[in-house]
A = this chain, B = another copy of it.
């Protein structure tokens, strides 16, 4: 009676590594085919999906505890930009045969720490063997008051443009990860080099800013494919133009040092992607309230430009518009 009472290896794997992350009652202990989620009264559910593939979105030898966190944080960043509060996530995991228990244990520990930190428990998932690279696909869910999702398509002429954190760290971090000699050529201190590497390895999604965005922004997008490209998407969707004052774009000391050593790094910083910052538009009269809310949330925000009539995102420096060879990261 082999069918009697033995769990399959897949069930054991789920019970051992992932059930501890599934504290939400709707997860049904990961012991069903499906999960249950009921949005808070008066709220819409916000849905997003994003994932990582080894060799595409992370280096196969990146620490395994960062990989699930990166995938989850990419989704959390999308929720934050929409003004949504995280509720939970589903995960699809494709594992090559080379993955061992130690790798999985660290993967699950890292992911669990973030699920806890961001209040976003695992609701369910799917685990498969793959002959290809490891991949983690996540679908994340959040709540916004009914009808209040912050969209891309609703920026208005005259709005101010703000961005959180600093731009370009991860794009330069991945260059540094590929060629460690750049640290010397860019004259980076060890701290600066570590900062760039860390920003690539592990995004810092701005969920603390979600309520400030919800209360004040006319439109928003998270910066995942580069500030230039994502602003272009927002302006296209809103049928407006954006004028960005390059001198005001917030840059870390490390990125400033790299640009000083190699001016071409300015384009990389503005268009490289993986920032996971939020760029938002808002009426001038809401700027004070937004800045106060951001300060209370502990997130730096900077005004970098204005929404204008027309089309496209213009990045202006010393009175001249920059031209980008490749304005946005694209897989295709």
Contacts and interface: CB of A to CB of B under 8 A. Distances in A.
Given A8-B229, A36-B46, A331 B129 contact: yes
A151 B8 contact: no
A128 B56 contact: yes
B152 A92 contact: no
Nearest to A144: B36
Interface stretch (A130-138, A197-205, A280-288): A130-138
Given A128-B331, A153-B32, A228 B3 contact: yes
Given A11-B233, A92-B92, A128-B53, A312 B3 contact: yes
Chain A interface, DSSP helix/strand/loop, else mixed: mixed
Given A5-B311, A327-B3, A47 B36 contact: yes
A81 interface: yes
A141 B10 CA distance: 23
Contacts of A44: 26, 36-38
Contacts of A237: 31-32
A interface bracket (residues with beta carbon within 8 Å of B): 35 or more
A139 B141 CA distance: 11
Given A8-B229, A35-B48, 8 more contacts: A3-B328, A4-B312, A5-B236, A6-B232, A8-B330, A36-B44, A36-B144, A56-B131
Nearest to A236: B5
B2 A49 contact: no
